[in-house]
Amino acid sequence: DSGVTQTPKHLITATGQRVTLRCSPRSGDLSVYWYQQSLDQGLQFLIQYYNGEERAKGNILERFSAQQFPDLHSELNLSSLELGDSALYFCASSKDRDYEQYFGPGTRLTVT
Amino acid sequence: GQQLNQSPQSMFIQEGEDVSMNCTSSSIFNTWLWYKQDPGEGPVLLIALYKAGELTSNGRLTAQFGITRKDSFLNISASIPSDVGIYFCAGQRNNDMRFGAGTRLTVKP
């Protein structure tokens, strides 16, 4: 158990819909990262937050947004969903930049 | 960002054999991380490396941070069936985090 929690574990929704994925970092970690992993693909970095502020952006679509709340949990919002958004979405946390990242169990999103 | 160059892509070995995989990059990193991922699960951190030249072990696993800061390797000694999975490297420098495509390890009993 990495100490990072993610909910829900599975999510099935229709095209055009909007969903919210939730992540709670390990105790003491201020930084949260979001990643997308499509079938048999590597991890694609989406976005990073540190202590409530956006710190780095990767290949995140405009239809996607995220935020980190004062209690340090983070949410990833995915809107106008398309079939191609079906993937595993992982959250990871770390103390700060250049420290090891611990991954959550992921949320499997299926868009039908 | 661009992926790291990880090799080999896959390995088929007999139980008891040693395994070696590596990652290279054209960029330097401050941190090298090695993870193992089982299908549908989250990556599990195996080893974290913070200094050029650092050699770190975790049980049967040993990893090194290359002296040029552009590469790292992971060795697994005396492999066992539960070592099966996908291993991938990650390099970090400030807000730049990149991953290797992974090495798929199969261990035959």
Provide mean pLDDT across the span A30-47: 90
Q: Look at residue A47 in the predicted model and tell me its pLDDT.
A: 95
Q: Look at residue B96 in the predicted model and tell me its pLDDT.
A: 81
Residue A42 pLDDT grade (very low, low, confident, very high; cuts 50, 70, 90)? confident
The backbone region for A85, taken as left when phi is positive above 0, alpha when psi lies in -120 to 50, beta otherwise, is: alpha
Q: Do A103 and B31 touch (CB under 8 A)?
A: no
Cα separation, A36 vs A52, in Å, equals 21
User: Which positions 78-107 of A are in contact with B (Cβ < 8 Å)?
Assistant: 88, 90, 97-106
Q: Look at residue B40 in the predicted model and tell me its pLDDT.
A: 86
> For the residues of B84-97, what is the DSSP string, one character each?
-EEEEEEEEETTEE
Q: Look at residue A5 in the predicted model and tell me its pLDDT.
A: 97
Q: Look at residue A97 in the predicted model and tell me its pLDDT.
A: 78
CA B16, chain centre distance (Å): 19
Q: Mind listing the pLDDT tens digit for each residue in B43-85?
A: 999 999 999 999 999 999 999 999 999 999 999 999 999 999 9
Q: Nearest by CB to A105, from B31, B42, B94: name it.
A: B42
The backbone region for B63, taken as left when phi is positive above 0, alpha when psi lies in -120 to 50, beta otherwise, is: beta
Give the whole-number percent of chain B exceeding pLDDT 90: 89
User: Kind of pairing, strands A107-111 and A87-94?
Assistant: antiparallel
Provide mean pLDDT across the span A86-103: 92
**What is the distance between the terminal CA atoms of chain B, rounded to a whole angstrom?**
38
Q: Look at residue B66 in the predicted model and tell me its pLDDT.
A: 96
Residue B2 pLDDT grade (very low, low, confident, very high; cuts 50, 70, 90)? low
| Residue in B with minimal Cα distance to A31 | B95
Instruction: Decide: B74 and B61 in contact? Cβ < 8 Å.
Output: yes
Instruction: Report the half-sphere exposure of A74 (CA within 13 A, side-chain side).
Output: 31
Looking up tokens 């072990």 gives B57
Provide mean pLDDT across the span A19-37: 96
**Count of C-beta atoms within a 10 Å radius of residue B12:** 9
Residue B31 pLDDT > 70 = yes
User: Kind of pairing, strands A19-24 and A5-7?
Assistant: antiparallel
Q: Which two tokens stand for residue A27?
A: 């105790």
